[in-house]
Amino acid sequence: MAQRLHLVFGGELVDPTKNTFKNVEDIHLVGIYPNYDAAYDAWKAEAQRTVDNAHMRYFIAHLHRLREEGTEASPTEELG
């Protein structure tokens, strides 16, 4: 079975309706997790910790998708 790594990271956004970080150097790298459930738990903990700041946002990145270079991306995963 393939390993499904996930990265949890976040930081302050310029505008809460967009995904542009205010300062890339201040991005908080929470960690890399061996499965989605563990990543989700870490994401949820950080999101709840920063709930009072509407500009703070955390994300889960699917690192295993970056490693599977032979697999075609779906149209929604391709960069414009």
Query: CATH number for the domain including 63?
Result: 3.30.70.2400
Q: Does any domain span residue 47? A: yes
Query: What does the pLDDT profile of the chain (80 residues) look like in tens digits?
Result: 567 899 999 999 999 999 999 999 999 999 999 999 999 999 999 999 999 999 999 999 998 777 666 656 555 444 44
Residue 1: the pLDDT is: 55
Residue 49: the pLDDT is: 95
Q: Does any domain span residue 58? A: yes
* Structural domain for 38, as ranges: 6-25+33-67
Residues listed for the chain: 80
- pTM for the model stands at 0.77
Alpha carbons within 13 angstroms on the beta-carbon side of residue 64 total 11
> Cβ–Cβ contacts within 10 Å for residue 30, how many?
18
Report helix, strand or coil for 48.
helix
Q: Does any domain span residue 72? A: no
Q: How many domains does the chain have?
A: 1
Q: Does any domain span residue 60? A: yes
Q: Does any domain span residue 75? A: no
